[in-house]
């Protein structure tokens, strides 16, 4: 998509937990650890977008997990979406930002099977809290925000 003027794209990412480990993937372009996720496509809500991105990038069917205090409550005229645990805005370049909805999800498997060609050779790791702490202290590719989000996901899904 061409960016003719300053733009802000909506994105959705999910920190996926299986047992006592959270999934991180090494971003192909920027060479830092992130969660599966990407842009919200036209016509998608943020839950649909994050589930699609997870499926495309790592081939997992997951269940989104809302914050501890959230309970789904649908009404005749609206359907509750699972809320993110964080929302951020970050610059991609001087003309383009992303606003990202950060979700937590749980998976019953750790088998990674990317569905899109671009993700088939992307490095993915499942890390426990102890391993995440060690990564944060020893791997400059693990940014502070990602460490915070991954830690929160591990705390939420026990």
**pTM higher than 0.75:** yes
Query: What is the domain-level CATH number for residue 114?
Result: 3.90.79.10
Measured CA to CA, the distance from residue 68 to residue 87 in angstroms comes to: 16
Kindly list the distances between the CA atom of residue 146 and the CA atoms of 16, 88, 130, in Å, as whole numbers in the listed order.
13, 12, 15
- The pLDDT of residue 3 is 47
The answer to whether 98 and 90 have CB atoms below 8 angstroms apart is yes
Q: Does position 5 have pLDDT exceeding 90, yes or no?
A: no
Give the mean model confidence (pLDDT) for residues 24-36.
Answer: 94
Q: Which percentage of the chain shows pLDDT scores above 90?
A: 82
Q: Does position 81 have pLDDT exceeding 50, yes or no?
A: yes
Q: Is residue 2 part of a domain?
A: no
E strand or H helix at 104? strand 96-106
Total of domains in the chain: 1
Tens of pLDDT, residues 124-150: 999 999 999 999 999 999 999 999 999
């Amino acid at each position: 998509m061409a960016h003719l003027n300053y733009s802000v794209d909506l994105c959705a990412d999910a920190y996926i937990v299986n047992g006592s480990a959270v999934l991180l993937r090494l971003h192909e372009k920027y060479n830092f650890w992130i969660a599966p996720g990407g842009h919200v496509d036209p016509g998608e809500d943020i839950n649909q977008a994050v589930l699609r991105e997870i499926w495309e990038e790592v081939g997992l069917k997951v269940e989104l997990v809302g914050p501890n205090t959230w309970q789904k409550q649908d009404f005749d005229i609206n359907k509750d979406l699972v809320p993110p645990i964080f929302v951020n805005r970050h610059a991609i370049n001087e003309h383009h930002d992303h606003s990202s909805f950060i979700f937590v999800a749980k998976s019953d498997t750790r088998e990674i099977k990317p569905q899109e060609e671009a993700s088939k050779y992307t490095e993915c790791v499942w890390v426990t809290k102890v391993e995440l702490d060690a990564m944060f202290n020893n791997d400059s590719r693990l940014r502070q925000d990602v460490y915070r989000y991954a830690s929160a996901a591990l705390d939420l899904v026990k």
